Amino acid sequence: MLKIFTKTKIFILDTLFPISCLSCNKDDAWLCENCLENINLLSFQVCPKCEDTVTEYGQLCRNCKTTSDLDALVVALKYQDNHIDKFVHLYKYRFVEDLHIPLGKIIVEAILNSGLPMPDIIIPVPLHKRRLRWRGFNQSELLAKYVSQNLTPGFEIPVFSNLLTRHKYTPPQMKIGKYADRQKNMRNAFAFNHKSDSFQQLEQLEHSNKYNVLLVDDISTTGSTLFECAKVLKQNGAKKVFGAVIARQDMKN
């Protein structure tokens, strides 16, 4: 039912606003090939915790290392550049699923440029089932699948979509102003799902008790979502937990 509603909504939107490249207004794609090629990826990565120190592939700096379970975060672009805010809005709130392809390409490029070590498995940041029902798709899962199929030519890194579950229904991080509130919002929001088929697949891996994970999400703000996911994964056998996102949204206050 919701799916039909979503599709109808997209159809109506397409009729009202014909598709054209958000950057150059030409072509019938939201992001044309030409503009995609000319997008400027960030030329360096910083520590995801303090965001001050430049580090190799976005590793934690020496000062922050002891305070976080996330080992590194690759950020592809600046949120304010290249109309990325508009693309992300269309993708998340206007349900334009096809945008996962150009956005996925952007993440893959950024990971390859950064020199991030290749992970054993990829996990999309899960949605609460209520939000999944509302949106009809997990935007991070589509990105994760694209990354899995395109990061290492000829080899698909397995995507474990339900190894983590989000059991706390929380307001979207983007709608919460204060840094401390965002952190509180995420506290204990995720759980490791031993009953999932992903867990069964994990047990088949050679490194099932010391695996390296890449968490994929669309946008990160304070990083609390990724830090929380990393904490749960480390409690359950993960050796290294990396993250990759399209952009980091700056805090307003």
3-state SS class at 60: coil
Q: Which of 39, 41, 42, 64 binds Zn ion (CB under 5 A)?
A: 64
Q: Does 49 bind Zn ion (CB under 5 A)?
A: yes
Indicate which single residue of 47, 73, 213, 226 sits in contact with Zn ion (rule: CB under 5 A).
47
- For position 39 contacting Zn ion by CB under 5 A, the verdict is no
Of 50, 54, 118, 251, the one binding Zn ion by CB under 5 A: 50
Sole window of 30-38, 111-119, 130-138, 163-171 interacting with Zn ion (rule: CB under 5 A): 30-38
Cα(47)–Cα(70) distance, integer angstroms: 10
Judged by DSSP in three states, 56 sits in: helix
| Shortest distance in whole angstroms from residue 66 CB to Zn ion | 11
- Under rule CB under 5 A, residue 32 binds Zn ion: yes
**Is there binding between residue 35 and Zn ion (CB under 5 A)?**
yes
Taking the C-alpha atoms of residue 172 and residue 154, their distance in angstroms, rounded to an integer, is 36
Q: Which is nearer to Zn ion, 61 or 191 (CB)?
A: 61
CA-closest candidate to residue 57, choices 36, 71, 38 = 71
| Binding region for Zn ion (CB under 5 A) out of 32-40, 69-77, 198-206, 228-236 | 32-40
Helix (H, G, I), strand (E, B), or coil: what is residue 216?
Answer: strand
> Applying CB under 5 A, does 108 fall inside the site for Zn ion?
no
3-state class of 195 per DSSP?
Answer: coil
How near is the Cβ of 61 to Zn ion at its closest, in Å?
A: 3
Strands 45-46 and 54-55: antiparallel
Q: What is the DSSP string of 64-101?
A: TGGG-S--EEEEEEETTSTTHHHHHHHHHHS--GGGHH
- 99 lies in the site for Zn ion, by CB under 5 A: no
Report the interface residues with Zn ion, using CB under 5 A.
21, 23-24, 32, 35, 47, 49-50, 61, 64
